[in-house]
Amino acid sequence: MIQLEDDEIIKMKRGLGWIDLKEAIKSEGCPICFIMNKSLEKYFENLLHEFALDVTVHKKMIAAMGMCNIHTWVFAEFSDKLGIASLFETTLSKEIKLLKRTTELGKNNLPDDFKNKKKLEKHKKTIIEQLLTKGYCLACEHQRESESFYTHEILTLWSDDEFQSYYGKDDIILCRSHFLFLVEECGRKEIIDYFLAIQRSKLDNINYQFSEFLRKHDYRFQNEMTDENRKSLIKVLEYFGSKKNVDREGYNDSQPNKR
């Protein structure tokens, strides 16, 4: 009976995110990076299919003046070019209006006025103020939400047997940024201990493969190089730099008005 109740608790704990999380911890590398890339793809698909004409979405696009660099180019890869164009249409009109407004800014001055350095600086500042972004890249915002949601899913499920059986495998390791984020979000020391111990043992393993990878570059040992040795380089890069297109610090628009 007690066993049943435990199962029920686990079922309840396994919320909506379990299916995505399970897929992520069955893959390779950082599960949070994996999920963020996957959910970004879904988000963009949704944006194109359902929200290409949505007023709120267009307002966000205008506030951020498009998207950050990474997301612009991830988005550009989608085949629905008309959808992409529609999403940028209002932002482009707004930019043209803003440029028109800035052109009018110095209109009442004489050209010679701006030979005065102070006046020129002031003029430049007014132009830049007009053009500064006032919002976050909407895809960065989405990334931030999914990162937080799934990090908390991991923290809820940490003691679940099935979770641990996948998460414990050598191929899965949180990247450095997401490990730090998980620790930051964690509310109990025993959970921190669990993740810290796992992180250390996996990193030791990577370190072993990595040192073999380095050692076997010597021509005498080249034949001994294994796939595991080779893979360790990508693992090290991903550990420090996260997966491609996932850039925690670089939620490029994390500070509106800084561009």
Which residues sit at the interface with Zn ion, rule CB under 5 A? 30, 32-33, 68, 71, 137, 139-140, 175, 178, 242
Residue type, 91: T
* Other beta carbons less than 10 A from residue 175's beta carbon: 23
Nearer to Zn ion by C-beta: 172 or 175?
175
The CB-of-180 to Zn ion minimum distance in angstroms stands at 10
Minimum distance from residue 215 beta carbon to Zn ion (Å): 28
Tokens at 204, concatenated: 């030791």
Amino acid (one-letter) located at 244:
K
Q: Which is nearer to Zn ion, 36 or 212 (CB)?
A: 36
Cβ contact 30:174 at 8 Å: yes
Residue whose token pair is 């950050």: 68
Please name every residue paired with 29 in a beta bridge, in sequence order, or none if there are none: 172
Q: Check: CB of residue 153 under 8 Å from CB of residue 15.
A: yes
**Smallest distance, Zn ion to C-beta of residue 248, A:** 8
CB of 47 to Zn ion, least distance (A): 13
The nearer residue to Zn ion, 146 or 242, going by C-beta atoms, is 242
Least spacing, CB of residue 177 vs Zn ion, in Å: 6
Reported for 23-28, long-range contacts at CB under 8 A and 24+ positions apart, including other chains, are 24/150, 25/163, 25/166, 25/167, 25/169, 25/172, 26/166, 27/171, 27/172, 28/171, 28/172
Which CB atom, from 65 or from 157, has the smaller least distance to Zn ion? 65
Residue 201 DSSP SS3: helix
Q: How far is the CB of 159 from Zn ion (least distance, A)?
A: 22
Cβ atoms of 179 and 195 within 8 Å: the answer is: yes
Task: Indicate the residue among 30 and 48 with the shorter CB distance to Zn ion.
Answer: 30
3 state DSSP class of 203: helix
Q: With 0-12 CB in 10 A as exposed, 13-18 as middle and 19+ as buried, what is 147?
A: buried
- Given the complex with Zn ion, which of 202 and 212 has the nearer CB atom? 202
Task: Rank residues 94 and 144 by Cβ distance to Zn ion and give the closer one.
Answer: 144
CB of 236 to Zn ion, least distance (A): 14
